[in-house]
A and B are shown apart, each in its own frame.
Chain A
Amino acid sequence: DIQMTQSPSSLSASVGDRVTITCRASRSISNYLNWYQQKPGKAPKLLIFAASSLQSGVPSRFSGSGSGTDFTLTISSLQPGDFATYYCQHSYGIPQSFGQGTKLEIK
């Protein structure tokens, strides 16, 4: 099975900051990498699919990059509603495993 490792596990930032979260796969997954945002008590929300494609309705301050084993999610200017937990997930076959999550908190 492919293992996904995210870093950092938590991050403190301020409104307006630029933040980057990284995700590494245990072997190459091409660009079969998705990013989700989850707020407490809610289902995850797909932000980015295919490593860099923005899901419909997601603000353009969210962007993704990478291929192979190393990927990043960048939020260009944090807004109050962006404080949440973020997960990467590969979809390069079954099982589609998730990273352990990055909790983004207000500084």
Chain B
Amino acid sequence: EVQLVQSGGGLVQPGGSLRLSCAASGLTFRNYAMNWVRQAPGKGLECVSAINNNGDSTYYANSVKGRFTISRDDSRNTLYLQMGSLRPEDMAVYYCARVDWNYGGLSYWGQGSLVTVSS
């Protein structure tokens, strides 16, 4: 059974940093591209970052470019999102999700990590 288990959310002050982790099991992690999708309170879904299966191609939404870094450690079957210079508008639930080979749907999601940015 495929599982994505997230950790690392919490309360951080504006300007602070936080790292989210997404530990994968039940799949050959190195074969899959992965996304980070966030959802601000009461709002819709936004893909903020993505990484291909090789780790050599990444995407960042304009809203986080230069502040967030996506990475993966295939030896640990783990995806990361390093978040820096956090702003109140970054406050959201962050989900990791696996990109399917066929047509790129997101069939497996982590449980979500709440990131609260407040002084």
**Using a CB–CB distance below 8 Å, which chain A residues touch chain B?**
31-32, 34, 36, 38, 43-46, 49-50, 53, 55, 87, 89, 91, 94-101
Contacts and interface: CB of A to CB of B under 8 A. Distances in A.
B50 A34 contact: no
Given A43-B95, A44-B109, A97 B102 contact: no
A97 B37 CA distance: 10
30 contacts: A32-B104, A34-B104, A36-B45, A36-B106, A38-B45, A43-B109, A44-B106, A44-B109, A46-B105, A46-B106, A49-B100, A49-B103, A49-B105, A50-B102, A53-B103, A55-B105, A87-B45, A89-B45, A89-B106, A91-B105, A95-B47, A95-B59, A95-B61, A96-B35, A96-B47, A96-B50, A98-B45, A98-B47, A99-B44, A101-B44
Interface residues of B, number: 23
B28 interface: no
B45 A32 contact: no
Interface string B92-110: 0001010110111111011
Contacts of A99: 44
